[in-house]
Amino acid sequence: MAKYDIAISGGGPGGAYAAKTAAELGLRVVFFERARKSGEKNASGCGLGQRWWRDFPFIMDEIVELDSYREIHFCYFKITDSDDRLVTTISTAKTPKDDRRIQHKDHGYGMTGTSIYRSDLDPLLANLACNAGAELRTSTLITDVIKEKGRVCGLVTEKGEKIEADVVIGADGAHSLVAIASGIRKRWNKDQITLVPQLDFSCNEQRMDDVIGPAELVWFGPYCGAYQVNFRDGFHLGLGQWLDKWDTRPLDMVKRILKIPAFQAMCRSVDAELREYQVHLLPWMPHPGKSYGDGVLLVGDAGGFPCPLEGEGIWHACLTGRMAAETAAEAIAAGDVSEKALSAYERKWKQSAVGREYEFGQEYVNLWKNSAFDPEFMKKMVLFLGEVQSLNFPSPVFDWSDDHMKTFNDHLGHLLDLLPELSDFANHNIVPLGKGISTENRERIAGMISGSIKKKLPRIIPQRVIRSVVGRFLGLA
Ligand SMILES: Cc1cc2nc3c(=O)[nH]c(=O)nc-3n(C[C@H](O)[C@H](O)[C@H](O)COP(=O)(O)OP(=O)(O)OC[C@H]3O[C@@H](n4cnc5c(N)ncnc54)[C@H](O)[C@@H]3O)c2cc1C
């Protein structure tokens, strides 16, 4: 029986990063991938957030050279109504402050995101591990764990080969056989996991540059919000829903977006052609589950680590992979790989940037679940967003249907009609996030309200209303 310090099931980002870290620490490590190469069986592509420039600059230097790379600076939300008409486009912003936040080689990368196909990214990460000395075995499905007196001490391949190891790391994604076979957890509950159908399109590269540029798109309307991640010469369109909420065939949910005229026009403008349909699972929960057991650790999706706000999970997989390998190395060196010793892993990730992701986990999940994932609610939200935009400069200036103050009042009246309908949503999903505003900013806002605004606003809105609304949001009431 082959014997390693660490055996890892899964050759995705979490497994590769755990393998790289373990090899760099001088351990004998093997990682197994069921596909012919890493990335072959994963969601077609991904967006990587700005913090990759901060946390993995040496990987970013290689990613920007990969074939499918597209640099991203904006995300445009295309808001459509029940008749599939485009109501408005809202966008993320970019300020000089962003550029100062994250620097790499004297460049500001504050709002610079990255889109890349997984068939490019995953092999890059796997190669980093192999170059560090890890052994990768592809086309190898892990079908079981080896246990001795309750302790996990190896993996079994589909051919029945047994691999012995001091510590096993489950980096085998949302389905994670290691998590279940080791007894750390059962299958995810249906309200902990989303099903994500996704369509991949090839496009004309020049047209993608001219028409879409450095942007991702989100289609927002009376359906489950759909993201469009744009690559050098293609894009993918996906949307998900928690398993306990599915009431239709996955493909029908994506088809809903395909019939939006603005989406079709965008496809025509970049010569988009459908090339692949996939369906994946993605854990989406307020907090990760239990991530350690006797002789075993879980990283990335296997541990339920994706971000509770928007489901990003590759950064989390790499960081938890690194922390799991470090914890395993310390435990092996100390000659104690018991559950108690490996619980250090949970303390480690809780105290890290990964742990901070779940501070508002429940609030984040509620926010998304009750808005973008609730088509009935989105019907009202679309009207609201349309009215807010119609009051924003420059819309009122360009509304020439009547005299300007009259049209302004028409829109303001409609917005006020909509507010009571949305107040429940705000009370339950926005107000609880007020406690995340820093004490310093709370005091500054409170100071402004008690200063000049307090004197002027009451002429328009009674002071007690301002105090109660702002106080509740700031958690001061
Ligand atoms: C449709 C979709 C879109 C997403 N978009 C983004 C995005 O834009 N940005 C982002 O950061 N995250 C995104 N995510 C989340 C992200 O894909 C995951 O969080 C991330 O891939 C987790 O990495 P991992 O290594 O833990 O698991 P995975 O990437 O799932 O890797 C697990 C690997 O293990 C292998 N494997 C599984 N079981 C076995 C077994 N029994 N034996 C051997 N090998 C096995 C698999 O083939 C796979 O290669 C998306 C997820 C989905 C589903």
Quick: pLDDT tens for 264-318: 999 999 999 999 999 999 999 999 999 999 999 999 999 999 999 999 999 999 9
In terms of Cα–Cα distance, which of 72, 78, 73, 74 is closest to 90?
Answer: 78
Place of tokens 């957030």: 49
Tell the burial category of 439 from Cβ atoms under 10 Å away from its Cβ (0-12, 13-18, 19+): exposed
Nearest CA to ligand 1 atom 35: 10
Using CA atoms, how far apart are residues 273 and 265, in angstroms rounded to an integer?
13
Using CA atoms, how far apart are residues 432 and 429, in angstroms rounded to an integer?
6
Domain range 2-68+116-186+289-359, CATH class: alpha beta
In terms of Cα–Cα distance, which of 115, 94, 114, 93 is closest to 104?
Answer: 114
In terms of Cα–Cα distance, which of 339, 361, 359, 360 is closest to 351?
Answer: 359
Q: What are phi and psi of 336, to 5 degrees?
A: -140, 105
CB 205 less than 6 A from any atom of ligand 1: no
Using CA atoms, how far apart are residues 415 and 412, in angstroms rounded to an integer?
5
Choice from 312, 322, 354 to test ligand 1 binding pocket (greatest atom count within 8 A of CB) = 312
Q: Copy the structure tokens of residue 127.
A: 């190669």
Q: Dump pLDDT digits (tens) for 422-454.
A: 989 999 999 899 889 998 988 888 787 766 666
What pLDDT shows up at residue 107?
A: 87
What's the average pLDDT block by block, 10 residues per block, for the chain (477 residues)?
Answer: 93 98 98 95 84 95 96 96 96 89 88 94 98 98 97 98 98 97 96 95 97 96 94 95 87 92 98 94 96 98 96 97 98 98 98 97 95 94 94 90 93 92 90 89 80 63 67 61
DSSP classification of residue 36: S
Using CA atoms, how far apart are residues 465 and 477, in angstroms rounded to an integer?
12
Using CA atoms, how far apart are residues 371 and 323, in angstroms rounded to an integer?
34
What pLDDT shows up at residue 385?
A: 95
CB 15 less than 6 A from any atom of ligand 1: yes
Place of tokens 């409170």: 446
Answer yes or no: are the C-beta atoms of 376 and 417 closer than 8 Å: no
Place of tokens 């993605």: 282
CB 13 less than 6 A from any atom of ligand 1: yes
Query: How far is the centre of ligand 1, averaged over its atoms, from the C-alpha of 163 (Å)?
Result: 23
Q: Copy the structure tokens of residue 269.
A: 């403008």
> Quick count: other Cβ atoms within 10 Å of Cβ 395?
17
What pLDDT shows up at residue 472?
A: 64
Answer yes or no: are the C-beta atoms of 170 and 32 closer than 8 Å: no
Query: How far is the centre of ligand 1, averaged over its atoms, from the C-alpha of 11 (Å)?
Result: 9
Choice from 36, 37, 42 to test ligand 1 binding pocket (greatest atom count within 8 A of CB) = 42
CB 110 less than 6 A from any atom of ligand 1: no
Nearest CA to ligand 1 atom 2: 43
CB 300 less than 6 A from any atom of ligand 1: yes
CB 387 less than 6 A from any atom of ligand 1: no
Answer yes or no: are the C-beta atoms of 236 and 116 closer than 8 Å: no
What pLDDT shows up at residue 126?
A: 98
DSSP 306-369: S-TTT---HHHHHHHHHHHHHHHHHHHHHT--SHHHHTHHHHHHHHSHHHHTTTTHHHHHHHHH
Using CA atoms, how far apart are residues 12 and 321, in angstroms rounded to an integer?
10
Answer yes or no: are the C-beta atoms of 51 and 315 closer than 8 Å: yes
> How many residues make up the chain in this entry?
477
Using CA atoms, how far apart are residues 79 and 388, in angstroms rounded to an integer?
12
CB 145 less than 6 A from any atom of ligand 1: no
Choice from 31, 46, 187 to test ligand 1 binding pocket (greatest atom count within 8 A of CB) = 46
Q: Which residues, 6+ apart, have CB-to-CB distance to 308 below 8 Å? A: 284, 285, 286, 287, 357, 358, 360, 361, 362, 364, 365
Q: Copy the structure tokens of residue 120.
A: 């490019």
Query: How far is the centre of ligand 1, averaged over its atoms, from the C-alpha of 314 (Å)?
Result: 8
Domain 74-111+189-284 is of which CATH architecture?
A: 2-Layer Sandwich (3.30)
> Quick count: other Cβ atoms within 10 Å of Cβ 453?
14
Count Cα atoms within 13 angstroms, Cβ side, for 454.
11
Q: Copy the structure tokens of residue 159.
A: 């051919």
Choice from 314, 318, 320, 349 to test ligand 1 binding pocket (greatest atom count within 8 A of CB) = 314
What stretches of 134-213 adopt beta strand conformation (E)? 135-137, 142-148, 151-157, 162-170, 193-202
Place of tokens 């239990």: 290
CB 136 less than 6 A from any atom of ligand 1: no
Nearest CA to ligand 1 atom 6: 46
pTM (2 decimals)? 0.94
Answer yes or no: are the C-beta atoms of 375 and 223 closer than 8 Å: yes
CB 172 less than 6 A from any atom of ligand 1: yes
Answer yes or no: are the C-beta atoms of 145 and 178 closer than 8 Å: yes
What pLDDT shows up at residue 389?
A: 93
Q: For residue 394, say if its preceding peptide bond is cis, omega within 30 degrees of 0.
A: yes
